[in-house]
Structure 1
Amino acid sequence: MSRIVFLLVPGVHLLDLAGPAQVFSTAADFGHPYTLSYVAEQPQVPTAQGLPLVAGADWPELGPEDLIVVPGWRTGAVDGRPVIGTATLQVLRDHHARGGTVASVCAGAEALGRAGLLDGRRCTTHHDVQDELAQRHPAAVVVRDVLFTVDDRVITSAGIASGIDMALHVVATRHGPAVAAQVARDMVVHTRRNGHEPQSSAMLRHRSHLDDTVHRVQNLIDARFDRPLPLPALASAVGVSERTLTRLFSRATGLTPLRYQQALRLEHAQHLISHGATIDAAARSAGFEDPRMLRRLRARTAV
């Protein structure tokens, strides 16, 4: 039996906690030996979303096969809040020293940093607080814009939904990728992402504008990026001319509709290749008629 212990701090984000907990709970439902525990320095823990949680104060006996997870909390930064007692930090240090694994989601990396577990190790956190984590823990090797890192039984993830990716990685490492895929499918997770994949997808990077027409066109492209999408059809769908659509789209995103579609295709193909697909198979799945176009785009982005 492997125990997963979640350390809850005031202001904990519910999804930072619930995402990984659901992964290990689902793995247990499929017959893999996990039991989940929740520990806090006070009996009732307020969450960032307003739902209070109840946790135990006593740590269970832990062995090398067990995992401690520190979910993130709501603060403007990873600065001195919330207070985490020295005894709790010592539990983190001792568990790792005895061969156990510790993990964090989002700002939870700060707790590992305070315990000295990030010194000399690769780590990451939410993109909003990466710089501050690096400033507060200069001996840590903060890796920016990745979903999660693994370094000497210290696992850190970017935050919020990436905690699910991190937990699925643990399941895959312990039980094989087929089990992780089974868990992901049961949870209706679209894909199981690798740690080095970026925190922000192409769909999100170009969505910070306020142009409703362009958002509507992006919705169309997002849903069918692997199929031919002629500019006249896109313009007709939103009731503007081709010239107006190109002008609005470029002003809002910095790309033409075709370039945006290519970015989505490339990202999808890169994901498939990172999971073992051939370039030809990835090109077909992403909608490229000729694999040579995918090769050219990959070479261009690698420069």
Structure 2
Amino acid sequence: MPRVVFLLLPRLHLLDLAGPAQVFSTAADFGYAYELRYVGEREDIPTAQGLPIRAEVTWPELDPGDLVVVPGWRGPTFRGSPGLDPESSRRLVQHHAAGGTVASVCAGADALGRAGLLDGRRCTTHHGLQDELARRYPRATVVRNVLFVVDDRVVTSAGIASGIDLALHLIAVRHGPGIAARVAREMVVYTRRNGDERQAGALRYRSHLSDVVHRVQDLIDSRFTEPLPLDGLAAASGVSPRTLTRIFGEATGTTPLRYQQTLRVERAEHLIGQGATLESAARAVGFQDARMLRRLRTRTRGARSAAVEGPA
């Protein structure tokens, strides 16, 4: 069971903590086991909103699959940031060095910076703190106008509510965009992936309110490596193929086939990033060989480049 350990520092913002905690708790409700732990440098943690929180003072033993999150705190600048004792700093560095992921929300990036984890990496924080973060940690590259940044298992997010987007992204990476979308729907939030990651991800096709289309997407998500004829998807959703094509396009701006292909490419990219060959990744996601995967990857990169460059 992977752990999500929140390092609680004084004057933390409740939503910086509660947003990501709710995402992982909801995923656990859906059968994706997560154990949430809350540690601090002292037991009683005052919050910016006046509600005290009780934390553990002993860290659990961590595995590389675990996640450590530092929520942010109230303060117009980093000058009044709560101190980070050497043991907390050591724990953050040790977990990352062992292959684990560390993350911050809002001002929590300062704690990662003090631990040396921002040096040589891209990062972000609340828009009101970005200039100060850049001055405080000149070896870091502060990325502006994004919700979150991922760099070598160091994940930083912008202000307060962006912690939800960060957590949904991590759920999507671990369990697929369908599960992240299901969590977002349960929480009644948008499934935004407006971080400094690929913007053409499958999760962006989930920001709609059509229950029929969500059910079809749930089916595709669970069986995207298999052939899924349009007739079968329509029958499962209780509408005609023509109606399904129309409402799917209206809700998502794409077709069921293109949506399935996006899922396959995203999964293949993940496998390749983990060391798989192009051929083995292609077969793992349902292609007979690497030719189609190669074409789809080229098309995806072309679309991404066009989106960045904008119209001529």
Is residue 33 of structure 2 the alignment partner of residue 37 of structure 1?
no
**Which residue of 2 is the match for residue 206 of structure 1?**
none
Tell me the CA shift for residue 299 of structure 1.
Answer: 9.1
**Identity %, equivalent residues:** 66
What is aligned with 1:137? Answer: 137
Match of 1:117 in 2: 117
Once the two structures are superposed, residues 80-120 of structure 1 have per-residue CA deviations (whole angstroms, 9 ceiling, x without a partner) of 52111011101000000000000000000000000000011
Q: CA deviation at 1:175?
A: 0.3
Instruction: State how 1:13-92 maps to structure 2 within 5 Å.
Output: 13-92=13-92
Letter of the structure 1 residue corresponding to residue 79 of structure 2: D
**Larger Cα-atom Rg:** 1
User: How far did 1:302 drift?
Assistant: 6.0
Distance 1:117 1:272 in 2: 39
Deviation at 1:154, TM superposition (A): 0.2
The answer to whether structure 1 residue 98 and structure 2 residue 93 are counterparts is: no
> Partner residue of 1:221?
none
1:183 aligns with 2:172: no
2:4 alignment counterpart: 4
Task: Give the paired residue count.
Answer: 210
Q: Is the 8 A contact 1:181 1:192 kept in 2?
A: no
Partner SS, residue 77 of structure 1: coil
For structure 2, the residue ranges without an aligned partner over 5 or more in a row are 198-251, 260-306
TM-score by length of 2: 0.64
Check conservation: 1:7, 1:70, Cα contact below 8 A.
Answer: yes
Q: What SS is found at the alignment partner of 1:37?
A: strand
Q: Distance in 1 between matches of 2:311 and 2:75?
A: 36
Q: Secondary structure at the match of 1:50?
A: coil
Map 1:206-225 onto structure 2 (within 5 A): none
Q: Contact between 2:165 and 2:191, CA under 8 Å: does it hold in 1? A: no
Q: Which runs of 4+ in 1 moved over 3 A?
A: 298-303
Cα gap change, 1:299 to 1:108, in 2 (>3 Å):
closer
Map 1:142-291 → 2, pairs under 5 A: 142-196=142-196
Find the aligned partners of 1:14 and 1:103 in 2 and give their Cα distance: 16
Per-residue deviation, residues 47-80 of structure 1 (Å, max 9, x unmatched): 0000000000000000000000000000111235
* C-alpha displacement of 1:178: 0.3
How far apart are residue 300 of structure 1 and its match? 9.2
Change (3 A) 1:82 1:23: same
Residue type of the partner of 2:115?
A: A
What value does the CA root-mean-square deviation take over the aligned residues?
A: 2.3
Q: Tell me, in whole angstroms, the C-alpha distance in 2 between the residues paired with 1:301 and 1:174.
A: 31
Where 1:103 maps in the other structure, the secondary structure is strand
